[in-house]
Structures are given as structure tokens and as C-alpha cells.
Amino acid sequence: MDKRPIGIFDSGVGGLTVCKAIEEILPHEHIIYFGDTARFPYGTRSHETVIRYSREITDYLTSRNTKMIVIACNTASAVALETLKRENSIPVIGVIEAGARAACSRRRGDIIGVIGTRATINSESYVKAIKKINSAIKVIQQQATIFVSLTEEGWVDDQITQMVAKKYLQHLYDADVRTLILGCTHFPLLKKTINSVYPDLDLIDTGVEIAYEVEAILKEKNLENSDGSRNIELYASDISETLQRLKEVFFGNNSTNIQKLIIDSKI
């Protein structure tokens, strides 16, 4: 039994979907979550800057004696994962490979769709991850950046969001996409709305998939904490109304509070 915490970080608030999924699947684990909301979004930053931010956060999390680091940010997963793996002795995993593996195993036919922010789509990280698993699979991508704003406004079950879903996804659906990766940590909040428009789309929730991978790695490496009590620490570099609202969506208005924490290269 290993009582050390799991460290999770994201560039903003969307990583709370990953944090919640891990908490539900592994309720006995101690979780430390950090959202870098003051420096959000990472998608507009250079690769050098994203790696620097990711190193700074990882340094803080490892200083808290974490047993694993989960990168809940698609941009940081695409840019910084290999660097952080190289530089740390504990397991470091990202959302992209987990989502790609789940989509390949659950796909219907040889086409997989991916939606994400413009930065994630332009990086083609999901395309590369999927092709590495099965080069015969066709991948159709679509940036869906407005979905981020809609979730942060709380319009997750709104007629406007349904209209945007049709605008973004109709051409993917017409191209026979029936397996769709939600390639942004905000997007799982829109599963119900997307499926109300396209009920036969199999939506790959990368938060859930990475939670299962965390579970498997902990078992494989004998790092599980099987009898701990619920213990979640939430930190952010800037605490906004959006962050507070999403915290309440996932964890309720209870004793799980968000604390402000500034992380920089001095740590």
C-alpha cells in the first residue's frame, strides 16, 4: 500500500473533469490538483514556454512526494510529456495516448474523429498517437474552440450549444465518424448535449480513459492505496468565478475548497 498522493495538473479549469474521474474510479487515493488558470491558455504559448510551465508545476508536485503525475492538459501532453517522463523517476502520463488507445479499441470501422482546441488539432498529436497504434485508421479532425467558452459560460445544456455541435460535427458524421475523441478536458461536460444531437456517436472521454490507465499503472507497480479516505487538494494560480462554478459542479459546495497557489521557477 502506498499512501503518497497522485499529482494532476492542467492549464486551466477543464482538468477538473480528469480529477473527478480519477476520484470516482480510485476513491481511496489522495489527489493534489493544480490548475494554472493565471497562465491559461497554454495553446497560444511556444513549446519552450509550455515545457517550462509544465516543469515548474511538476517540480512542485514532486516536492509534495507524489507517486505519479497526470497531465490533464492536451497541449502539455502533446508538448511536454516526453520531457517530463525523461526527467522524473515516477510515472508520468498524459491524456492523448489514453484517448487514442480507447478510441482504437472501441472504434466502429476504420475512421476516428477528434475534436479539440485549435492548438491541439494543429499539433496532430491524436493523429500521430492513433497512427502509431494502427496506421490504417483514418483520422478526421475538427477544431471546436467555441465549446470551451460555452462550457465556461455554463451553457452545457443549451440550444445554442446544440447548434454549435451541428456546425462543428455534421461533416464528421456525414463522413461516417461514429467514434469521436473529446480532445479537450472541457468537452466531457458536453457529452449529453452532443449525444442529444448525434445519439449514435461513441464519445471517448479522455478523463475517464486516463483514470483507468492510472488504476492499471498503480496496480502494476504496487502503488495502490486501498484503504485511504477521500482526500482531494485543489489549487489554482488564479481563482475565478468559472473555476468556482465548475468545482461545485464536480465536488459540490462542501469542504473541498480551492486554494490559490502561485508556482514559478523559484520553487
Residues acting as catalytic residues: 73, 184
Closest residue by Cα to residue 42 from 67, 9, 65: 9
Nine-digit cell string for 143 = 477544431
DSSP 43: G
Give CA–CA dist 261/89, Å, rounded: 25
Q: What is the dihedral of CA 191, 193, 196, 200, to 10 degrees?
A: -30
Nine-digit cell string for 105 = 479499441
Per DSSP, the residues of 125-148 read: HHHHHHHHH-TT-EEEEEE-THHH
DSSP 189: G
The alpha-carbon radius of gyration of the chain (Å, integer) is 18
H helix runs in 38-114, sequence order = 47-63, 74-87, 95-106
Strand runs (DSSP E) across the chain, as ranges?
Answer: 6-10, 30-35, 68-71, 92-94, 111-116, 138-143, 179-183, 202-205, 231-236, 258-260
- Asked whether the beta carbons of 54 and 84 are under 8 A apart, the reply is yes
